[in-house]
Amino acid sequence: MTAPVSTQPGPRNWLCQAAGAAAPPGGGEPRIAGSVGAIYRGRFAPSPTGPLHAGSLVAALASWLDARAHQGRWLLRIEDVDTPRCQPGAGQLIAEQLAACGLLPDEPPVCQSGRGALYQKALDQLVQGGMAYPCGCTRQAVAQALAASGQCRQRHGELVYPGTCRQGLKGRPARAWRFRTDKNEQKWLDVQAQQPSSAIDLIAHHARHASGDLQAQLVWQDRRLGPQGQDVCRDVGDFVLRRADGLWAYQLAVVVDDAAQGITHVVRGADLADNTARQILLQQALSLPTPRYLHTPLVRGANGDKLSKQHGAPPLDLHDPLQALNPAARLLGLPRQTGLAADALAAWVNAWRDTMPPDGPLSAPGARSLAIRSDAPTA
């Protein structure tokens, strides 16, 4: 079964046109596992839902510093697949704000809204491999199914999909397309038979509970947070790849674009750390390389929640760029600077290089990165 092509148009701003969004610099096709080279390639990938604020500047600065400290290239990608939330002109404004802070990309910016053909190709590959399927469930139906089974959704928690449509739509029309997480547990086991221990970067822990059910936890190493783990099948369920409104889901788009642009290191806010296991599963399923990950501290509001545009975070005041950069640097553990912003950035690059190594030689985990340890407990 082939997934239907999305015909929903995306916004076309100057960034997309300038970059040639259909075939941007950095690669128009996702690269197969094993193709990550020795050159560091990082990126900052904001959504154009409004101007940059203090929280998003932390991720921008950290990703730029990491690339500069390791003689790499730094890219700007405007993640505008969620078109109803995007604001006209916000992508251009974000690029101008970054430039005012001295954070200039090494290649023309790329917009996701012109890259639907790449996402469609990836979805078709997953469908043909039996790793994606159509779903006819509404969010209300999923919530009702979970409530009927006695499962309660935690505040800010995932609405865990119960797998209702795994075995077919049963007469319901297809609404969305989902990734089948349960099929990948056996794939991890198959990978172990071919994986040399010296190349292990990621670990899938398996343990049998008293019920006899096999639980799998994908564990990955964050450069700042240390070991992180998630049982995606249990904690998230089969997640959406293409939404009921025809728009591409973040998880698929970011995996395809990171591979197409040859991204070797992802530096982003800690609020996105929970997405990493899902993205690694997709990289495995599509035989794409897995970058190294670093998740930065979050700027929080007075109520303790993450500062965000959705909750009214004010835009950056860049009349004096260093006044905006210093608080971001402080949150990253870097010393306060005075004088010119360019000199401050140079000092922070040196400090970052001393404290945040890129984690040794680059590897291409891709489809050959998971090992199984049967004696590990399930968190």
Report pLDDT digits (tens) over 277-317: 999 999 999 999 999 999 999 987 766 666 666 666 788 99
What is the rounded average pLDDT of the residues 265-278?
95
Q: What is the pLDDT of residue 313?
A: 75
Is the pLDDT score of 193 beyond 50? no
Give domain status of residue 55, yes or no: yes
Dist. CA 174–CA 137, nearest whole Å? 8
The 8-class DSSP code of residue 31 comes to P
Q: In which element (H, E) is residue 296 found?
A: strand 292-296
Give domain status of residue 47, yes or no: yes
Band of residue 374 on the pLDDT scale cut at 50, 70, 90: very low
Which CA distances in Å does 272 have to 267, 278, 295?
A: 10, 11, 8
Give domain status of residue 179, yes or no: no
* DSSP 3-state of 353: helix
Give domain status of residue 193, yes or no: no
pLDDT digits (tens, 9 = 90+) for 49-105: 999 999 999 999 999 999 999 999 999 999 999 999 999 999 999 999 999 999 999
Q: In which element (H, E) is residue 331 found?
A: helix 321-331
Which CA distances in Å does 37 have to 31, 33, 264, 363?
A: 11, 11, 8, 8
Count of other CB atoms within 10 angstroms of residue 349: 18
Q: Output 239 or 173, whichever has higher pLDDT.
A: 239
Backbone angles phi, psi at 299, to 5 degrees: -85, 130
The residues with which 202 forms a beta bridge, in sequence order, are: 370
> 312: phi > 0 → left, psi -120 to 50 → alpha, else beta; which?
left
Least trusted range by pLDDT, from 130-144, 231-245, 351-365: 351-365
Is the pLDDT score of 206 beyond 60? no
Band of residue 204 on the pLDDT scale cut at 50, 70, 90: very low
Is the pLDDT score of 181 beyond 90? yes
Q: Of 44, 53, 50, 47, nearest to 316 (Cα)?
A: 53
Residue 304 is part of a domain; what is its CATH number?
3.40.50.620
Overall number of domains in the chain = 1
Task: For the full predicted model, state whether its pTM sits above 0.95.
Answer: no
> Containing domain of residue 258, as a range?
14-115+250-355
The 8-class DSSP code of residue 153 comes to P
* DSSP 3-state of 316: coil
Give domain status of residue 142, yes or no: no
Give domain status of residue 67, yes or no: yes
Q: Report, in this order, helix, strand and coil percent for the chain, each rounded to 5.
A: 35, 15, 50
Q: Ranked by mean pLDDT, which of 140-144, 161-165, 209-213, 216-220 comes out on top?
A: 161-165
Could you tell me which residues come within 8 angstroms of residue 97 by beta carbon, excluding any fewer than 6 positions away?
Answer: 51, 52, 315, 316, 318
Give domain status of residue 293, yes or no: yes
Q: Cβ(93)–Cβ(46) under 8 Å?
A: no
Least trusted range by pLDDT, from 53-57, 336-340, 352-356, 365-369: 365-369
Q: Of 339, 210, 203, 196, nearest to 280 (Cα)?
A: 203
Q: Cβ(100)–Cβ(323) under 8 Å?
A: no
Least trusted range by pLDDT, from 7-21, 116-130, 339-353: 7-21
* DSSP 3-state of 182: coil
The 8-class DSSP code of residue 275 comes to G
Least trusted range by pLDDT, from 129-138, 211-220, 353-362: 211-220
The mean pLDDT of the chain is 79
What is the rounded average pLDDT of the residues 190-203?
44
Give domain status of residue 192, yes or no: no
